[in-house]
Amino acid sequence: MIPYGRQSISEADISAVIEVLKSDYLTQGPAVERFEDAVKEYVGSQHAVAFSSCTAALHAAAWASGLGPGDIVYTSPLTFIASANAARFVGATPGLIDVSPQTFNIDLTAIPSDASAIIPVHFAGLPVDLSLPDWGSNRPVIIEDAAHALGAQTPDGPVGNCKYSDMTCFSFHPVKPITTGEGGMVTTNDSDLAERLKRFRSHGIVRKSSGGGWFYEINELGYHYRMTDIQAALGSSQIQRIDDFIASRNNQALRYRELLKGLEGLQLPPEAPAGFTHGYHLFVIRVEDRRGLYDFMISCGIGVQVHYVPVHHHPISNDLRPSEKGWPHADSLYEQILSIPIHPALGEEELETVCLTVARFLEEQ
Ligand X SMILES: *Cc1c(COP(=O)(O)O)cnc(C)c1O
In this structure, the chain runs to a length of: 365
Judged by CB under 6 A, how many residues of this single chain contact ligand X? 14
> What is the C-alpha to C-alpha distance for residues 210 and 107, in angstroms, rounded to an integer?
51
Site string for ligand X, 173-212 (x = CB under 6 A): x----------x----------------------------
CB 278 within 8 A of CB 148: no
**Which of these segments, 140-148, 150-158, 263-271, 355-363, binds ligand X (CB under 6 A)?**
140-148
Closer residue to ligand X in complex, CB, 86/260: 86
Closer residue to ligand X in complex, CB, 54/143: 54
Q: How does 131-152 read in b/e, with b if 16+ C-beta sit within 10 Å?
A: eebeeeeeebbbbbbbbbbbbb
> What is the C-alpha to C-alpha distance for residues 300 and 322, in angstroms, rounded to an integer?
41
- Is 238 among the residues that bind ligand X (CB under 6 A)? no
Q: Among residues 40, 148, 278, 312, which is the contact residue for ligand X, using CB under 6 A? A: 148
Q: How far is CA 7 from the centre of its chain?
A: 15
**Which of these segments, 50-58, 150-158, 231-239, 337-345, binds ligand X (CB under 6 A)?**
50-58
- The CB-of-262 to ligand X minimum distance in angstroms stands at 31
- The CB-of-245 to ligand X minimum distance in angstroms stands at 16
Closer residue to ligand X in complex, CB, 187/357: 187
Q: Among residues 7, 65, 75, 83, which is the contact residue for ligand X, using CB under 6 A? A: 83
Q: Among residues 45, 93, 116, 171, which is the contact residue for ligand X, using CB under 6 A? A: 171
Q: Among residues 7, 53, 93, 105, which is the contact residue for ligand X, using CB under 6 A? A: 53
Site for ligand X, residues 4 to 43, rule: CB under 6 A: none
- Is 147 among the residues that bind ligand X (CB under 6 A)? yes
- Single-letter code of the amino acid located at 50: A
DSSP code per residue over 187-239: EES-HHHHHHHHHHHBTTEEE-GGG-TT-EEE-S---B-PPBHHHHHHHHHHH
- The CB-of-184 to ligand X minimum distance in angstroms stands at 5
- Is 161 among the residues that bind ligand X (CB under 6 A)? no
> What is the C-alpha to C-alpha distance for residues 248 and 260, in angstroms, rounded to an integer?
18
**Which of these segments, 61-69, 76-84, 155-163, 189-197, binds ligand X (CB under 6 A)?**
76-84
> What is the C-alpha to C-alpha distance for residues 242 and 182, in angstroms, rounded to an integer?
17
Classify 70 in phi/psi space as left (phi over 0), alpha (psi -120 to 50) or beta: left
Q: Among residues 63, 80, 327, 334, which is the contact residue for ligand X, using CB under 6 A? A: 80
Site string for ligand X, 92-121 (x = CB under 6 A): -----------------------------x
In order of 285, 311, 339, 341, 350, the CA distances from 289 in angstroms are 12, 22, 14, 19, 23
- The CB-of-84 to ligand X minimum distance in angstroms stands at 10
- The CB-of-119 to ligand X minimum distance in angstroms stands at 9
Classify 88 in phi/psi space as left (phi over 0), alpha (psi -120 to 50) or beta: alpha
CB 60 within 8 A of CB 51: yes
- The CB-of-183 to ligand X minimum distance in angstroms stands at 7
Please compute Rg for the chain using Cα positions: 21
Residues near ligand X (CB under 6 A) are: 53-55, 79-80, 82-83, 121, 145, 147-148, 171, 173, 184
